[in-house]
Amino acid sequence: MFKRLLTLLVSLILAISFVLNGTVYADTLNLKSKSAILMEANTGQILYEKDSHKPLPPASVTKVMTLLLAIEAIDSGKIKITDKVVTSKHAFDMGGTQIYLEVGEEMTVDDLMKAIAMNSANDASVALAEYIAGTEENFVEMMNKRAKELGAKNTTFKNATGLPEEGHLTSVYDIAMISRELVKHESIFKYLTNKLDSLRNGKFSLINTNKLLWRYKGADGIKTGSTSEALYCMAATAKRGDTRLIAVVFGAPDSETRFSEAAKLLDYGFANYESVKVASKGQSFGNVKVFKGKKQAVSVVCRDDEYILIKKGEGKNIKTEVELKNAVLAPLAKEVPIGTVKITQDGKIIKTFNIYPQEIVEKANFFENLNKVFIGWLKYQ
Protein backbone atom coordinates (compact mmCIF):
# COMPACT_ATOMS: atom_id res chain seq x y z
CA MET A 1 0.00 0.00 0.00
CA PHE A 2 2.80 2.39 0.94
CA LYS A 3 4.66 1.60 -2.31
CA ARG A 4 1.54 2.33 -4.36
CA LEU A 5 1.04 5.68 -2.63
CA LEU A 6 4.72 6.55 -3.11
CA THR A 7 4.55 5.62 -6.80
CA LEU A 8 1.40 7.71 -7.21
CA LEU A 9 3.02 10.68 -5.47
CA VAL A 10 6.17 10.50 -7.61
CA SER A 11 4.07 10.26 -10.77
CA LEU A 12 2.06 13.29 -9.70
CA ILE A 13 5.20 15.31 -9.02
CA LEU A 14 6.62 14.37 -12.42
CA ALA A 15 3.37 15.27 -14.15
CA ILE A 16 3.32 18.67 -12.47
CA SER A 17 6.97 19.25 -13.38
CA PHE A 18 6.11 18.77 -17.03
CA VAL A 19 3.92 21.87 -16.92
CA LEU A 20 5.75 24.98 -15.76
CA ASN A 21 4.66 28.54 -16.55
CA GLY A 22 2.39 27.23 -19.30
CA THR A 23 5.16 25.31 -21.05
CA VAL A 24 4.84 21.57 -21.62
CA TYR A 25 8.14 19.73 -21.51
CA ALA A 26 9.21 16.41 -23.05
CA ASP A 27 7.84 13.83 -23.27
CA THR A 28 4.21 14.42 -22.44
CA LEU A 29 3.31 14.22 -26.15
CA ASN A 30 5.49 11.13 -26.69
CA LEU A 31 7.22 12.48 -29.78
CA LYS A 32 9.70 10.31 -31.66
CA SER A 33 11.56 13.28 -33.17
CA LYS A 34 14.96 14.12 -31.68
CA SER A 35 13.89 17.66 -30.82
CA ALA A 36 10.72 19.72 -31.12
CA ILE A 37 9.15 23.01 -30.15
CA LEU A 38 5.77 24.71 -30.28
CA MET A 39 5.75 28.51 -30.24
CA GLU A 40 2.92 31.02 -30.37
CA ALA A 41 3.94 33.46 -33.08
CA ASN A 42 2.40 36.72 -31.85
CA THR A 43 3.98 36.61 -28.40
CA GLY A 44 6.89 34.22 -28.93
CA GLN A 45 5.73 32.17 -25.95
CA ILE A 46 6.87 28.55 -25.92
CA LEU A 47 4.06 26.05 -25.33
CA TYR A 48 6.05 22.83 -25.70
CA GLU A 49 9.70 21.91 -26.04
CA LYS A 50 11.88 18.84 -26.26
CA ASP A 51 15.65 19.41 -26.46
CA SER A 52 14.77 22.71 -28.10
CA HIS A 53 18.26 24.24 -27.90
CA LYS A 54 20.22 21.19 -29.08
CA PRO A 55 22.25 21.98 -32.24
CA LEU A 56 21.34 19.55 -35.02
CA PRO A 57 21.62 19.47 -38.82
CA PRO A 58 18.45 21.07 -40.22
CA ALA A 59 18.58 19.86 -43.85
CA SER A 60 16.47 22.11 -46.10
CA VAL A 61 14.71 23.75 -43.17
CA THR A 62 17.80 25.96 -43.52
CA LYS A 63 15.88 27.65 -46.33
CA VAL A 64 13.60 29.33 -43.78
CA MET A 65 16.49 31.76 -43.31
CA THR A 66 17.18 31.91 -47.05
CA LEU A 67 13.54 32.83 -47.63
CA LEU A 68 13.62 35.39 -44.82
CA LEU A 69 16.58 37.26 -46.28
CA ALA A 70 15.00 37.08 -49.73
CA ILE A 71 11.60 38.42 -48.65
CA GLU A 72 13.28 41.16 -46.62
CA ALA A 73 15.21 42.17 -49.74
CA ILE A 74 11.98 42.17 -51.76
CA ASP A 75 9.87 44.05 -49.23
CA SER A 76 12.60 46.65 -48.67
CA GLY A 77 12.89 47.30 -52.41
CA LYS A 78 16.47 46.02 -52.67
CA ILE A 79 15.33 43.55 -55.32
CA LYS A 80 12.10 43.08 -57.29
CA ILE A 81 10.22 39.86 -58.03
CA THR A 82 10.42 40.74 -61.72
CA ASP A 83 14.24 40.94 -61.67
CA LYS A 84 15.93 38.31 -63.82
CA VAL A 85 18.69 36.24 -62.22
CA VAL A 86 21.39 34.63 -64.36
CA THR A 87 22.46 31.15 -63.22
CA SER A 88 26.14 30.78 -62.31
CA LYS A 89 28.30 27.67 -62.61
CA HIS A 90 28.27 27.41 -58.80
CA ALA A 91 24.47 27.35 -58.68
CA PHE A 92 24.39 24.84 -61.54
CA ASP A 93 26.71 22.53 -59.61
CA MET A 94 24.36 22.15 -56.62
CA GLY A 95 23.30 18.60 -55.87
CA GLY A 96 20.18 17.29 -54.18
CA THR A 97 16.75 18.64 -55.07
CA GLN A 98 16.87 21.06 -58.00
CA ILE A 99 14.96 22.64 -60.84
CA TYR A 100 17.92 21.88 -63.11
CA LEU A 101 19.01 25.42 -63.90
CA GLU A 102 21.49 25.66 -66.78
CA VAL A 103 24.52 27.92 -66.66
CA GLY A 104 23.45 31.28 -68.05
CA GLU A 105 19.73 30.50 -67.77
CA GLU A 106 17.64 33.47 -66.65
CA MET A 107 14.82 33.10 -64.16
CA THR A 108 12.84 35.75 -62.32
CA VAL A 109 13.13 36.27 -58.57
CA ASP A 110 9.45 35.32 -58.38
CA ASP A 111 10.06 31.93 -59.99
CA LEU A 112 13.13 31.29 -57.86
CA MET A 113 11.11 32.01 -54.72
CA LYS A 114 8.49 29.49 -55.86
CA ALA A 115 11.18 26.91 -56.54
CA ILE A 116 12.72 27.38 -53.09
CA ALA A 117 9.50 27.49 -51.06
CA MET A 118 7.64 24.74 -52.91
CA ASN A 119 10.28 22.44 -54.37
CA SER A 120 13.19 23.14 -51.99
CA ALA A 121 15.45 23.65 -55.01
CA ASN A 122 19.10 23.98 -54.04
CA ASP A 123 20.20 25.49 -57.34
CA ALA A 124 17.47 28.15 -57.06
CA SER A 125 18.53 28.92 -53.47
CA VAL A 126 22.15 29.52 -54.47
CA ALA A 127 21.22 31.53 -57.56
CA LEU A 128 19.04 33.85 -55.47
CA ALA A 129 21.64 34.03 -52.69
CA GLU A 130 24.28 35.13 -55.20
CA TYR A 131 21.91 37.72 -56.68
CA ILE A 132 21.24 39.25 -53.26
CA ALA A 133 24.75 39.14 -51.80
CA GLY A 134 27.14 38.69 -54.72
CA THR A 135 28.36 35.27 -53.59
CA GLU A 136 26.93 32.42 -51.55
CA GLU A 137 29.70 33.03 -48.99
CA ASN A 138 28.54 36.63 -48.52
CA PHE A 139 24.95 35.45 -48.23
CA VAL A 140 25.90 32.91 -45.55
CA GLU A 141 27.50 35.75 -43.58
CA MET A 142 24.18 37.60 -43.84
CA MET A 143 22.35 34.48 -42.66
CA ASN A 144 24.47 34.11 -39.55
CA LYS A 145 24.33 37.82 -38.77
CA ARG A 146 20.53 37.87 -39.06
CA ALA A 147 20.27 34.71 -36.96
CA LYS A 148 22.20 36.37 -34.12
CA GLU A 149 20.00 39.48 -34.38
CA LEU A 150 16.94 37.28 -33.86
CA GLY A 151 18.42 35.60 -30.79
CA ALA A 152 19.45 32.35 -32.48
CA LYS A 153 22.36 31.36 -30.23
CA ASN A 154 22.89 27.77 -31.40
CA THR A 155 22.99 28.40 -35.13
CA THR A 156 25.90 28.25 -37.55
CA PHE A 157 24.97 28.22 -41.21
CA LYS A 158 27.58 27.05 -43.71
CA ASN A 159 25.49 27.28 -46.87
CA ALA A 160 22.18 28.61 -48.19
CA THR A 161 20.66 25.21 -48.93
CA GLY A 162 21.01 22.87 -45.97
CA LEU A 163 23.07 20.37 -47.92
CA PRO A 164 25.27 18.37 -45.51
CA GLU A 165 28.36 20.28 -44.40
CA GLU A 166 30.39 19.92 -41.23
CA GLY A 167 29.36 22.46 -38.62
CA HIS A 168 26.10 23.42 -40.37
CA LEU A 169 23.84 23.28 -37.31
CA THR A 170 20.88 24.98 -35.70
CA SER A 171 18.17 24.19 -33.15
CA VAL A 172 14.40 23.94 -33.29
CA TYR A 173 14.19 26.98 -31.01
CA ASP A 174 16.36 29.04 -33.36
CA ILE A 175 14.36 27.96 -36.40
CA ALA A 176 11.14 28.85 -34.59
CA MET A 177 12.52 32.33 -33.93
CA ILE A 178 13.54 32.74 -37.57
CA SER A 179 10.15 31.38 -38.70
CA ARG A 180 8.38 33.84 -36.43
CA GLU A 181 10.17 36.69 -38.20
CA LEU A 182 9.43 35.21 -41.62
CA VAL A 183 5.66 34.99 -41.10
CA LYS A 184 5.53 38.70 -40.24
CA HIS A 185 5.89 39.23 -43.99
CA GLU A 186 2.43 38.74 -45.49
CA SER A 187 3.94 38.59 -48.98
CA ILE A 188 5.76 35.33 -48.17
CA PHE A 189 2.49 33.38 -47.99
CA LYS A 190 2.11 33.73 -51.75
CA TYR A 191 4.89 31.15 -51.96
CA LEU A 192 4.38 29.14 -48.77
CA THR A 193 0.71 28.32 -49.48
CA ASN A 194 1.15 27.55 -53.19
CA LYS A 195 0.38 23.85 -53.56
CA LEU A 196 0.78 23.35 -57.31
CA ASP A 197 2.54 25.52 -59.87
CA SER A 198 5.01 25.38 -62.73
CA LEU A 199 8.08 27.04 -64.24
CA ARG A 200 9.37 27.57 -67.77
CA ASN A 201 5.92 28.19 -69.24
CA GLY A 202 4.45 25.06 -67.71
CA LYS A 203 7.26 22.73 -68.73
CA PHE A 204 8.51 22.09 -65.16
CA SER A 205 5.92 21.20 -62.50
CA LEU A 206 6.17 22.21 -58.85
CA ILE A 207 4.42 20.38 -56.01
CA ASN A 208 4.76 21.78 -52.51
CA THR A 209 6.62 19.38 -50.23
CA ASN A 210 4.56 20.53 -47.22
CA LYS A 211 1.76 17.94 -47.06
CA LEU A 212 0.09 19.74 -44.15
CA LEU A 213 -1.23 22.26 -46.68
CA TRP A 214 -3.61 19.52 -47.83
CA ARG A 215 -4.22 17.87 -44.46
CA TYR A 216 -4.29 20.43 -41.69
CA LYS A 217 -6.86 23.18 -41.08
CA GLY A 218 -5.22 26.59 -41.18
CA ALA A 219 -1.80 25.33 -42.31
CA ASP A 220 -0.01 27.90 -44.48
CA GLY A 221 3.73 27.12 -44.25
CA ILE A 222 6.65 26.73 -43.89
CA LYS A 223 9.39 24.29 -44.98
CA THR A 224 10.38 20.63 -44.97
CA GLY A 225 13.82 19.07 -45.16
CA SER A 226 15.54 15.69 -45.03
CA THR A 227 18.98 14.15 -45.40
CA SER A 228 20.45 10.87 -44.20
CA GLU A 229 22.22 12.77 -41.41
CA ALA A 230 19.39 15.12 -40.36
CA LEU A 231 16.62 12.55 -40.95
CA TYR A 232 13.22 14.23 -41.44
CA CYS A 233 12.72 17.83 -40.34
CA MET A 234 10.02 20.45 -40.60
CA ALA A 235 9.03 23.98 -39.67
CA ALA A 236 5.23 24.25 -39.80
CA THR A 237 2.80 27.05 -39.12
CA ALA A 238 -0.96 27.34 -39.00
CA LYS A 239 -3.38 30.13 -38.14
CA ARG A 240 -6.89 30.00 -36.71
CA GLY A 241 -8.51 33.30 -35.86
CA ASP A 242 -5.87 35.55 -34.29
CA THR A 243 -3.82 32.57 -33.12
CA ARG A 244 -0.76 31.61 -35.16
CA LEU A 245 1.36 28.68 -34.02
CA ILE A 246 4.80 27.56 -35.17
CA ALA A 247 5.86 23.92 -34.74
CA VAL A 248 9.37 22.71 -35.53
CA VAL A 249 10.55 19.09 -35.44
CA PHE A 250 14.06 17.79 -36.15
CA GLY A 251 15.23 14.21 -36.55
CA ALA A 252 11.93 12.43 -37.14
CA PRO A 253 12.51 8.79 -38.16
CA ASP A 254 10.40 9.04 -41.34
CA SER A 255 8.45 11.55 -43.40
CA GLU A 256 5.02 10.61 -42.09
CA THR A 257 6.17 10.97 -38.47
CA ARG A 258 7.47 14.44 -39.29
CA PHE A 259 4.04 15.56 -40.50
CA SER A 260 2.03 13.76 -37.83
CA GLU A 261 4.15 15.13 -34.97
CA ALA A 262 4.03 18.67 -36.33
CA ALA A 263 0.26 18.28 -36.51
CA LYS A 264 0.17 16.86 -32.97
CA LEU A 265 2.03 19.92 -31.68
CA LEU A 266 -0.33 22.28 -33.49
CA ASP A 267 -3.36 20.34 -32.21
CA TYR A 268 -2.10 20.70 -28.66
CA GLY A 269 -1.65 24.45 -29.05
CA PHE A 270 -5.00 25.18 -30.65
CA ALA A 271 -6.83 22.97 -28.14
CA ASN A 272 -5.37 24.72 -25.12
CA TYR A 273 -4.45 28.32 -26.02
CA GLU A 274 -5.63 31.33 -27.96
CA SER A 275 -4.20 34.74 -28.86
CA VAL A 276 -6.17 37.86 -28.02
CA LYS A 277 -5.38 41.14 -29.73
CA VAL A 278 -5.27 43.90 -27.12
CA ALA A 279 -4.13 46.76 -29.36
CA SER A 280 -3.86 47.47 -33.08
CA LYS A 281 -1.04 49.14 -34.96
CA GLY A 282 -1.77 52.87 -35.18
CA GLN A 283 -4.44 52.75 -32.46
CA SER A 284 -4.61 56.02 -30.51
CA PHE A 285 -4.61 56.04 -26.70
CA GLY A 286 -5.14 59.78 -26.28
CA ASN A 287 -3.22 63.03 -26.67
CA VAL A 288 -0.29 64.58 -24.84
CA LYS A 289 0.45 68.33 -24.63
CA VAL A 290 3.63 69.53 -26.31
CA PHE A 291 5.46 72.58 -24.95
CA LYS A 292 7.41 74.82 -27.32
CA GLY A 293 6.43 72.74 -30.34
CA LYS A 294 4.96 73.58 -33.71
CA LYS A 295 1.94 71.58 -32.54
CA GLN A 296 0.36 71.96 -29.13
CA ALA A 297 -0.55 68.28 -28.75
CA VAL A 298 0.27 64.93 -30.29
CA SER A 299 -1.68 61.69 -30.55
CA VAL A 300 -0.13 58.72 -28.73
CA VAL A 301 -0.34 55.48 -30.70
CA CYS A 302 0.63 51.80 -30.70
CA ARG A 303 3.44 50.98 -33.15
CA ASP A 304 2.52 47.31 -33.66
CA ASP A 305 -0.34 44.91 -33.12
CA GLU A 306 -0.12 43.69 -29.53
CA TYR A 307 -1.36 40.31 -28.30
CA ILE A 308 -1.64 38.27 -25.17
CA LEU A 309 -1.78 34.50 -24.97
CA ILE A 310 -4.35 32.93 -22.70
CA LYS A 311 -5.52 29.44 -21.92
CA LYS A 312 -8.82 28.52 -23.55
CA GLY A 313 -11.76 29.62 -21.44
CA GLU A 314 -9.72 31.97 -19.25
CA GLY A 315 -10.22 35.21 -21.18
CA LYS A 316 -12.36 37.00 -18.59
CA ASN A 317 -11.64 40.15 -16.58
CA ILE A 318 -8.99 41.48 -18.97
CA LYS A 319 -8.60 45.25 -18.65
CA THR A 320 -6.46 47.96 -20.23
CA GLU A 321 -4.76 50.68 -18.18
CA VAL A 322 -3.17 53.63 -20.00
CA GLU A 323 -0.53 55.89 -18.49
CA LEU A 324 0.44 59.02 -20.47
CA LYS A 325 2.90 61.79 -19.68
CA ASN A 326 1.21 65.02 -18.70
CA ALA A 327 3.27 67.00 -21.19
CA VAL A 328 6.44 66.73 -23.26
CA LEU A 329 8.96 69.25 -24.56
CA ALA A 330 9.65 69.71 -28.28
CA PRO A 331 11.43 68.58 -30.37
CA LEU A 332 9.70 65.20 -30.17
CA ALA A 333 10.84 62.08 -32.04
CA LYS A 334 8.53 59.21 -33.00
CA GLU A 335 10.92 56.66 -31.46
CA VAL A 336 10.65 58.04 -27.91
CA PRO A 337 7.88 56.44 -25.81
CA ILE A 338 5.57 58.89 -24.04
CA GLY A 339 3.22 56.43 -22.43
CA THR A 340 2.65 52.83 -21.42
CA VAL A 341 -0.24 50.40 -21.63
CA LYS A 342 -0.75 47.73 -18.99
CA ILE A 343 -2.96 44.75 -19.65
CA THR A 344 -4.31 43.20 -16.47
CA GLN A 345 -6.32 40.13 -15.67
CA ASP A 346 -7.96 39.85 -12.27
CA GLY A 347 -5.79 42.77 -11.13
CA LYS A 348 -2.51 41.11 -12.18
CA ILE A 349 -0.35 42.70 -14.89
CA ILE A 350 0.10 40.20 -17.73
CA LYS A 351 1.57 42.50 -20.39
CA THR A 352 3.08 45.98 -20.63
CA PHE A 353 4.05 47.85 -23.80
CA ASN A 354 5.11 51.36 -24.73
CA ILE A 355 3.14 53.79 -26.88
CA TYR A 356 4.64 56.54 -29.02
CA PRO A 357 3.98 59.91 -30.70
CA GLN A 358 2.06 59.50 -33.93
CA GLU A 359 4.29 62.06 -35.62
CA ILE A 360 7.44 64.11 -35.19
CA VAL A 361 6.86 67.48 -33.54
CA GLU A 362 9.51 70.04 -34.33
CA LYS A 363 10.51 72.83 -31.98
CA ALA A 364 8.72 76.11 -32.64
CA ASN A 365 10.81 79.20 -33.40
CA PHE A 366 10.65 82.44 -31.46
CA PHE A 367 7.93 84.02 -33.59
CA GLU A 368 5.75 80.88 -33.53
CA ASN A 369 5.97 80.78 -29.72
CA LEU A 370 5.19 84.48 -29.55
CA ASN A 371 2.15 83.97 -31.75
CA LYS A 372 0.89 81.21 -29.41
CA VAL A 373 1.24 83.53 -26.44
CA PHE A 374 -0.67 86.28 -28.28
CA ILE A 375 -3.49 83.91 -29.32
CA GLY A 376 -3.70 82.61 -25.75
CA TRP A 377 -3.91 86.19 -24.45
CA LEU A 378 -6.74 87.02 -26.89
CA LYS A 379 -8.80 84.08 -25.60
CA TYR A 380 -8.95 85.65 -22.14
CA GLN A 381 -9.86 89.12 -23.30
Residues annotated as part of the active site: 60, 63, 120
How many CB atoms within 10 Å of residue 209?
18
**Helix, strand, coil % (nearest 5) of the chain?**
35, 30, 35
61's CB contacts (< 8 A; 6+ apart) are 162, 170, 175, 223, 224, 225, 233, 234, 235, 248, 250
- Closest alpha carbon to 79 in 33, 132, 11, 146: 132
Alpha helices, H only, 79-211: 89-92, 109-119, 122-133, 136-149, 172-182, 189-192
| Cis status of the peptide bond prior to 110, with omega within 30 of 0 | no
- Tell me how far apart the alpha carbons of residues 169 and 349 are, in angstroms, rounded to a whole number: 38
- Tell me how far apart the alpha carbons of residues 265 and 378 are, in angstroms, rounded to a whole number: 68
